Amino acid sequence: MNSAYALPMLTIFPALGALALLILRSDDHKFIRGMSLFVATAEFFFSLVLVPGVPIGSSGYRLELNVPWISSPPIHFHMGVDGLSAFLVILTTLLTPISILASWNSIQHRVKEFFIMLLMLEVGVVGVFLSLDLFLFFLFWEVMLIPMAFLIGIWGHDRRIYAAVKFVLYTMAGSILMLVDLVEIQRALQTGALVLPTQTEMILFLAFFLAFAIKVPLFPLHTWLPDAHVEAPTAGSVILAGVLLKMGTYGMMRFCLPLFPLASRKAAPYVAALAIIGIIYGALVALVQPNLKKLVAYSSVSHLGFVVLGIFSFNTIAMQGAIYQMLTRLTSRSTVAWLLQCRACRHSSYLWRSLLWAFRCLTGLSANT
């Protein structure tokens, strides 16, 4: 296969698996689960081609594909991968089969629809991490929103509708700001290079930043997270804690800083203040939580405050620390969410108990490094 088409195939492969699930009988739960696990596992092994594709220490984007897509406005199907997005994609594809295993027996109604939503969620997340065109990025950002809302709203717990609506409202508010930004940037590009007046650059930066800050979530835009995390099914909690929150910090690093460098530096002290407040607030609230899922949610607010603080410090070591924290949190937090479901595994098979101990070791390693 041509390496230029590796990234589009990697992105669309789970969608092909979801399409295959559509033609299966809804009552054949065993085959549906097996097919979903096969597709997710194959996607993980497929993603490993990114390891040799992005040599250590290399700069720029690799496996890049840039073809015209829409003529007016000029939008390109532009994908590429670097060291940051490669690790995020690989860990995302690793978490999806784990989420399927965690939902193997807990999901008993609308089983086919559940696994279709899970695979389409993977399409959106992988697409976000590989997109280099802003409109393509926005498209996959929205593709991610719909399956996650359904996972919470249909297969969640008692207050699932409230949590799903709150998740949609917050995320759509950020999406509207991002869309307005994209239109304005496109208008500016039609006149030449992206050179903006200082005030315009600050306004566009704030719109982009708010969209990503909601997804992080950064204090005080965090109130949707505890409800979504508590009410989501196990697979939703694993993906939410492990991947979706990192999309906000990834967007800040990939788009906010390069597109609006002057505005980013001017806003850095205020962003740092919000991050520090979130660090302290999230930690204190997590201390008194009787609900373990809420504890994970508020600790995520605290930990991601460190990531945002590192990003807006404009220091190489701090930026590297922020990236490292993102990667370790992706493994540790998603594993904690999975372990909450596996507390009942002490009476289950030897395989499940072995997996439980393996993931406990992985969590401890990633949390202590």
3-class secondary structure, 235: helix
Dump pLDDT digits (tens) for 10-22.
Answer: 888 999 988 988 8
Q: At 28, phi and psi to the nearest 5?
A: -90, 70
DSSP code string of 94-146: HHHHHHHHHTTTT--SSHHHHHHHHHHHHHHHHHHHHB-SHHHHHHHHHHHHH
| Residues with Cβ within 8 Å of residue 137, at least 6 apart in sequence | 128, 131, 255
CA distance 282 to 293: 13
Dump pLDDT digits (tens) for 165-187.
Answer: 998 888 888 888 888 888 888 77
Dump pLDDT digits (tens) for 139-165.
Answer: 898 888 888 888 888 888 888 889 889
What pTM, to 2 d.p., does this model score? 0.83
Q: Which of 119-128, 166-175, 195-204, 329-338 has the lowest mean pLDDT?
A: 329-338
| Residue whose entry in the numeric block shows the structure tokens 């595994």 | 345
